[in-house]
Amino acid sequence: MPIDIGPFEFCHQEVQPDDIVWVGMKKTTSWCKIPYPGHPDGCINVKKPCRFFRPGLKEILNVWFLHDQARVHLAWVEWDINMFEVMMRKRYPNWTRARARNLCLWQPTLRKALWDHCKDEFEWCDIILGAEGSGVDFYATMDNFGNYSLLGLMVFENESLH
């Protein structure tokens, strides 16, 4: 059952190929190894095939753009994690700040809502969840537009996907 995460807003912006910040796959996979509480070796999937790992995306996009076959959008959620933390700590007074902000609480709800919104918003699309696994530095790309979000997607519109 989804948790109440409070109000949020969907946003998206079309981007050009040069707006996307690409990094090498070596750097991308190093992000997966960053330790976090309870996981000193990083992501639990680091030793398994990762569902977000999509090498070759940059090359595919270059072909699509070359033939004017695709449009790329960044899609994200504007949402106040500080308000969420306050809400959780009222509900569970013994929780720490880290526990109240834990992404396992809010990420599935926001991710599904954003996914569903993109499916409705874009007629023919491929949604890339975890674009970092394709070599995209999502946060640096968002920063190019003065935006920051805790959760975002890349959406590729291409009629050949229909």
Residue-wise pLDDT for 39-62, tens only, equals 888 887 777 767 677 767 777 777
Separation of alpha carbons 102 and 35, rounded Å: 15
Region of 107 please: left (phi>0), alpha (psi -120 to 50) or beta: alpha
Query: What would the pLDDT profile of 108-162 be if each residue is shown by its tens digit?
Result: 888 888 888 888 888 777 777 777 778 888 888 888 877 767 677 777 776 555 4
Contact at 8 Å (CB) between 55 and 25? Answer: yes
CB-side exposure of 98: number of CA atoms within 13 Å?
A: 3
Highest-confidence range of 15-24, 62-71, 92-101, 104-113, by mean pLDDT? 92-101
Contact at 8 Å (CB) between 72 and 22? Answer: no
